[in-house]
Structure 1
Amino acid sequence: MPGLFQLKEKIWSFGGNYVIRDQNEEPVYAVKGKVFSWGKDLSFQDYNTGQELFRIKQILMSFMPRFEILKDGASVAEIRKEFQWFGQKFTLDVPGPNDYTIDGSFWQREFEFRRASGLSARVSKEFWNWTDTYGIEIYEGDEAFILATAIVIDLVLFEKKSN
């Protein structure tokens, strides 16, 4: 059975603040962005304890959008938007040879995470909401990296303030 999550941006937030809930609608993660920073800088935290699990930082001097995930100050993954004429494509580079590719459609607002072993997750953006809201199904892999990558997709494609 897949892990089911809802990622929702907080309304009236500055810097990118999100709450991630599980299938029982219980909050499990909080993401808090810095208001004043060069590029996006977000703290991915355990909702109940407030402990920072990792940090999501934008890499500024890049042709296409790039972000890195840091744990205890060390880079553990990099998310890159790839150039494509049609559709949207991202790469989630994790340690080892089994990176994720994320393919999707800006217009359909559907994204699939794939590895060599097959489909790992599916992300769907809801259309008629006041805030950015996503349904996320995770079949395999590290849920934290997948959830952080969904936040990066929102920052790159759907948040007007990020440009």
Structure 2
Amino acid sequence: MRYLVRDRLLGFGDDYWIEDEHGDKQFLVDGKALRLRDTFELKDREGRVLIDIREKMLALRDTMLIERDGEALATIRRKRLSLLRNHYRVTLVDGTELDVSGKILDREFAVEYDGELLAVISRRVLHLRDTYCVDVIREDADPALLIAVAVCVIELAEKQGDDDDRED
């Protein structure tokens, strides 16, 4: 399933809809402005909160936390000692690790589990300005989680100033 995400223009305080490939609204990103740390909620069409995302305070490295129903679901941070400059690690609470790598700031990257492709994030497949696509490859994957991962990784890369991501 393919989801279309419009890039935020002003930051986390913005609210915006994520649509499916048919143009139907599927998720609302509800940015929480005026907070000490970056925070937002991913909601369904009926306004139910599916996922809470927030920046972890007082961490040695920039870290984002994903929660579902008040329980920790995943932690996202840049992978240390990686040959790839734009490589992030998503650690789920059960110990499962997802790898995210590619050109993050260009919106051209992939999410993998144990070498298997879960989602591809790309701007190339679209002709819409300021929009990127989250293409969920596996049918049994959690689209809300993968969208949250994509948004978090982009936020971390922008904060860390991953300009080396645009060398080409």
Q: TM-score, normalization: structure 1?
A: 0.81
The two structures, once aligned, show a CA RMSD in angstroms of 2.6
| Alignment-derived partner of residue 73 in structure 1 | 70
In 1, Cα distance between the equivalents of 2:13 and 2:83? 30
Unaligned runs of 5+ in 2: 161-168
Q: 1:49 pairs with 46, 66, 91, which one?
A: 46
1:32, 1:59 → 2: CA distance? 18
- Aligned positions of 1:73-152 closer than 5 A: 73-83=70-80, 84=82, 86-106=84-104, 108-116=106-114, 118-125=116-123, 131=130, 133-140=131-138, 141-152=141-152
Alpha carbons of 1:34 and 1:86: their partners in 2 closer, same or farther (altered >3 Å)?
Answer: same
TM-score w.r.t. the length of structure 2 is 0.79
What amino acid does structure 1 have at the position aligned with 2:47?
G
Change (3 A) 1:110 1:156: same
Instruction: Please identify, of 133-142 and 34-43, the stretch whose mean Cα deviation from structure 2 is larger.
Output: 133-142
Q: Which runs of 5+ in 1 are unaligned?
A: none
